[in-house]
Every structure is written in structure tokens, then in C-alpha cells.
Amino acid sequence: MKGHYQLIIGGARSGKSALAEQRALASGKSCVYLATGTPGDEEMALRIDNHRRRRGDEWLLVEEPLFLAQALLANHAQDRTLLVDCLTLWLSNCLHNQTWDAQRQQLLEILPTLSGEIILVSNEVGSGIVPLGELTRRFVDESGFLNQALASICHRVTQVVAGLPQELK
């Protein structure tokens, strides 16, 4: 039996992660938090620690900064909710490691085959100015293309602005 897929998008500090966590817990299934961020500096380590404290001990934690499709494949189950937070950190990791094209393709191929509940969290980065650098422009472009592709696969798409969810699909 195939799963149910959600995409939650929003800007930085919009409340998208908190909403995703609420929905995962409300599913009544065991919850797996699939974290893509790495503590590359003190500020990021603090962000990760804040997310961990907010979630508490109810979650199984899987940390995977690059091979997201494989982590989803290894952890999905009909009685589980997988929460991926966040796709834009994963995208950044893949771009820096020059694995983006292959990893993106694997995710888009594997996602529709997974069972259980899958909640994907992504930043909406395309509403600002066009960045100056080539890599940052590619990041914005690829993020937008990824969000569009996932929105077409997902059963539910929610945009969060100022902590308020807006149902798009």
C-alpha cells in the first residue's frame, strides 16, 4: 500500500517545522525525524539542538545530509510517519558535494513508491531578489524546481507564513 505525502513550504522561521512536527505526531504512527542539516558552525549546532529539544524523546532520529532517497527507503513503513527537515539544507549539501542531479532523480523516483506518511519540509526561497553568484542562483533555481516537482507528487501542499498554514493543495 502506497503512502500519503505532504510538502510544507515557507520562509525562514515561518513555523513550517513546528507544523510538520505537529502533523507527524497527530498521525498516531511512530515518528521518524530525518534530519539533513549538519552542525557546520556554532550557530547551526544551536539550531539543531533547539529542534531536538522541541521534539523531545518521542522521535527516532536519522541523520542523512546527502543520501535522502536511500534513508527514506530504509525507514518507510505503513505504520510510520517520516518527517524530512529540510530539503533546502539537503539541496545545499548535494550541490556542495556535486551529487545533486543524481540525488534529486533518486528522490523523485523513490518517493511515489513509499508507504506510510511522508512529510517534507522545504524553504520557499524564490520570493526574494535574484542572487549575484552562480552557485546561489543555481540553489534558488533548483529549490524552486524541486518544490514544483514534489508538489506535483504530494497529496497535500501547505505554505506557512508567520506561523499560519495556507493549504495550497
The per-residue pLDDT for range 23-80, each reduced to its tens digit, is 999 999 999 999 998 777 787 767 777 777 777 778 899 999 999 999 999 999 999 9
Cβ(65)–Cβ(89) under 8 Å?
yes
Q: What pLDDT score does 91 carry?
A: 97
Closest CA to 50 of 35, 29, 64: 35
Helix, strand and coil in the chain, % to nearest 5:
45, 25, 30
Degrees, nearest 5: CA angle 124-130-135: 85
Single pTM value for the model: 0.92
- Spatial separation of the C-alpha atoms in residues 148 and 35, rounded to whole Å: 21
- The domain spans of the chain are 4-167
- Convert the pLDDT of each residue in 95-139 to its tens digit: 999 999 999 999 999 999 999 999 999 999 888 777 778 888 999
Report the topology of domain 4-167. Rossmann fold (3.40.50)
Residues noted as catalytic: 51
pLDDT at 1: 59
Q: What angle do CA 128, 18, 101 make, to 5 degrees?
A: 55
C-beta separation of 122 from 87 below 8 A: yes
